[in-house]
């Protein structure tokens, strides 16, 4: 801007921004630091600085930091199993969601008929449905059909629940790919499928990657479905952490939960670090085009 802003405004704005950044980051840094302490330090009633310097940790373990929480969570409570389950689930959900979603989203963006619009509106209403209301519809039939508890069932359900969002997102990405591109291929004698295969697929990757990131987050972060649809040994990370809370507090092993929380957050940090641009563009894509 041409005119310089007054000093007080710059100071105010910077101060506010620093405050926000502190609010957004300190809780995570604090938990990361505290996960290497013992419970008496992380939840210190006397003095919060105990957690910084690890006073009790030194007294209890002989060093100012300890990996006991991680050892307890990963080895004793078998958090590695939950990690593998999460890996299988998220990767399958992303792959299947994107396959179904690209086909559907492409069709919706190229159909000139009214019903395409209505499918999108219905998808919007489905998108608004709290997931847990659907779970109450699944449970009884799943028990009867012996489908309950399997990772596969949860994957399929989650793909379906992801579809409305995936369709909307990919539909708006495909609208941005000029129609002339595939239509000229069809003039040259391609069928619709060939046009999709040879013309659209090579140029759709930015949109697909962005949508895939959000499908990943949806599957990774879910608790409503995974918490109710999986047996104990098939649990993914988030319900596993929730189960720590139930019995950890009694055993005095709340540090297991802290360590597990840090472990489950780490992949998300890496994800944001590498895909920040795609996440930002994905968040805004729906807004600008919808």
Q: How far is the CB of 38 from another protein (least distance, A)?
A: 13
Does position 266 interact with another protein (CB under 8 A)? The reply is no
As a whole number of angstroms, the distance between CA 39 and CA 252 comes to: 8
* Closest CB 277 distance from another protein, rounded Å: 9
Beta-strand ranges (E) seen in the chain are: none
- Among residues 23, 53, 60, the alpha carbon closest in space to that of 38 is found at 60
13 binds another protein (CB under 8 A): yes
Interface with another protein in residues 46-65 (CB under 8 A): 48, 51
Interface with another protein, residue 164, by CB under 8 A: yes
State yes or no: residue 144 binds another protein (CB under 8 A): yes
DSSP assignment letter at 35: T
* Residue 195 φ/ψ, nearest 5 degrees: -60, -40
DSSP character for 4?
P
Nearer to another protein, 6 or 62 (CB): 6
Does residue 279 interact with another protein by CB under 8 A? yes
Which positions ≥6 away from 232 have C-beta within 8 Å?
243
Q: Which window, 58-66, 71-79, 94-102, 199-207, contacts another protein (CB under 8 A)?
A: 94-102
Which window, 64-72, 76-84, 87-95, 124-132, contacts another protein (CB under 8 A)? 124-132
Tell me how far apart the alpha carbons of residues 165 and 219 are, in angstroms, rounded to a whole number. 12
Structure tokens at 246: 């139930």
In whole angstroms, the minimum distance from the beta carbon of 111 to another protein comes to 5
Q: How far is the CB of 149 from another protein (least distance, A)?
A: 14
Site for another protein in 21-40 (CB under 8 A): 21, 23-25, 27-28, 30-31, 34
Scan residues 216-245 and list those touching another protein (CB under 8 A): 217, 220-221, 223-224, 227-228, 238, 241-242, 245
Distances (CA, A) of 180 to 196, 203, 207: 12, 14, 19
In the block, residue with structure tokens 């007054």? 6
């Amino acid at each position: 801007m041409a005119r310089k802003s007054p000093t007080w405004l710059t100071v105010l704005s910077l101060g506010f921004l620093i405050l926000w950044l502190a609010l957004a980051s300190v809780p995570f840094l604090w938990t990361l630091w505290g996960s290497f302490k013992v419970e008496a330090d992380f939840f210190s009633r006397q003095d919060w600085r105990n957690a910084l310097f690890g006073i009790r940790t030194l007294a209890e373990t002989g060093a100012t930091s300890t990996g006991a929480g991680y050892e307890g969570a990963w080895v004793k409570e078998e958090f590695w199993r939950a990690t593998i389950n999460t890996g299988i689930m998220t990767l399958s959900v992303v792959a299947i969601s994107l396959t179904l979603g690209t086909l559907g989203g492409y069709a919706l963006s190229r159909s000139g008929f009214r019903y395409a619009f209505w499918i999108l509106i219905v998808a919007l209403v489905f998108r608004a449905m709290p997931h847990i209301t659907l779970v109450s519809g699944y449970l009884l039939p799943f028990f009867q059909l012996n489908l309950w508890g399997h990772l596969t069932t949860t994957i399929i359900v989650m793909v379906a629940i992801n579809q409305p969002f995936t369709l909307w997102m990919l539909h708006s990405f495909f609208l941005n790919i000029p129609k002339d591109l595939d239509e000229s291929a069809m003039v040259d004698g391609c069928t619709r499928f060939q046009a999709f295969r040879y013309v659209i697929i090579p140029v759709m990757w930015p949109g697909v990657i962005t949508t895939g990131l959000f499908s990943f987050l949806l599957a990774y972060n879910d608790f409503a479905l995974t918490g109710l649809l999986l047996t104990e040994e098939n649990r993914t990370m988030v319900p596993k952490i929730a189960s720590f809370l139930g019995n950890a507090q009694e055993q005095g092993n709340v540090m297991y939960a802290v360590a597990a929380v840090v472990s489950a957050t780490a992949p998300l940090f890496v994800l944001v670090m590498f895909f920040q641009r795609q996440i930002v563009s994905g968040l805004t894509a729906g807004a600008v085009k919808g």
